Amino acid sequence: MSPLKTSFPKDKMKIVLLENISQSAVDSFKKAGYTQIEQHTGALSGEQLDTVLKEAKVVCVRSKTQLTEEVITKAKKLVAIGCFCIGTNQVDLEAANKAGVCVFNAPFSNTRSVAELVIASAIMLIRKIPDKNRAAHAGEWDKDSTNAHEIRGKRLGVVGYGHIGSQVSILAEAMGLRVFYYDVENKLPLGNAEEISDLKSLIEHCDIITLHVPGTKQTQNLFDKQVLNWFQKGQLLVNMSRGDVVDISALKEALEEKRISGAAVDVFPEEPKNKDEKFSSPLQNISNVILTPHIGGSTEEAQWNIGLDVSSKLIKYIENGASLGSKSIPELSLPKIEDTHRILHIHKNVSGVLSEINSKISKLDVNILGQYLSTNLEVGYVVLDISKSDSLDTLKEFKRIDHTIKVRILY
């Protein structure tokens, strides 16, 4: 039998990191033996992005680089995508799914950083610090306590009680706030938090509203003019979820009319791709408004943890085929079996494919030591462990199976 040749030798696997991803990710890849690591400090798009991805097996991004269907389709050699952030809105997951490209993210690693900024922003707003800070810089000594309050005893309304929303809830309660939350799914409360069954009641009941919902078609402009009209004078709004969740023009109107007394916004419908692009928002220069450049998770601790988390998932998938945490192909958690060849087969989820796989194995008289299958609506993911003494002609046969998307051998 010929010497084992893996599909993706480590010294030939190109890994592209965009948007100044943490050094912890680079260190993880190098420690695992990968040497072709290409780093870029900013986001890329158009021909420039297509060029760097032409030979890439793995691409790592944060939130700015848009991996559209067109981009994924052109990147023929792409095996996996790492989103070094909470969400995956920047990736066309359907296209990745159909192309058999595994997508990972870090849904937990920066929750504390975002939660801390939410609490800090709420304190700044309720004390009217943005206005007093501006006055002090202009040489004015504004010590007036009118409309400046303690946060203790106030009612915080959390919209979206997921990983970040629940973490905000814990910190808020420790600060003496009463916490209420609304979510489209039933969620068990942490601490003394109380669930409110509809959004309107939550807004009308609370002093501060903080948003922690995903970016979907259902949440786009969730806080439109109608919803913002539910706010009453004295209430505050914090948005550190997604830029298109709030209608910015309607929020500007509500702030100028003093129906909302202050807002902290960290995410925007349109954001600069890098430091060289100018930032512009209708919310600039409005009283008691804090604008931050999408830095909810931008702490050294959070970025370091995200770098470790996502790179670890990517390495496990590349080397073991484990797809636990994938947002595109079906999830599989796999044990490593000694003295085997491991073959990955990603295919369209149609009837008969698994039968054909088993039929070809039977004809080749291959000894199967392990077989794993997981499917979603679009694709199926089969992992086969065959005896090391068996011929790798199995790989060639698998490529001939109808509806095959990707086949590769790991070892």
Which residues are catalytically annotated? 242, 271, 294
Q: What contacts 174, CB < 8 A, 6 or more positions away?
A: none
* Helix 111-126 vs helix 300-320: crossing angle, to nearest 10: 160
CA 79/CA 34 separation, integer angstroms: 15
CB 355 within 8 A of CB 322: no
CA dist., res. 67 & res. 137, Å (int): 42
C-alpha Rg value of the chain to the nearest Å: 25
In contact, 329 and 344? CB cutoff 8 Å = no
Q: Phi, psi (5° rounding) for residue 79? A: -105, -40
Specify the long-range contacts of residues 176-180, CB closer than 8 Å, at least 24 apart. 176/151, 176/152, 177/151, 177/152, 177/153, 177/208, 178/153, 178/154, 179/155, 180/155, 180/156, 180/205, 180/206
User: Which run of H or E residues covers position 379?
Assistant: strand 379-387
Closest listed residue to residue 156, CA positions, set 96, 209, 77: 209
> Among candidates 162, 164, 210, 167, which has minimal Cα distance to 191?
167
Helix/strand/coil for 164: helix
Which of these, 255, 323, 265, lies nearest to 291 by C-alpha position?
Answer: 265
Q: 100: which residues sit within 8 A by CB, 6+ positions away?
A: 329, 346, 379, 405, 406
Dmax over CA atoms of the chain, in Å, equals 87
- Asked whether the beta carbons of 260 and 234 are under 8 A apart, the reply is no
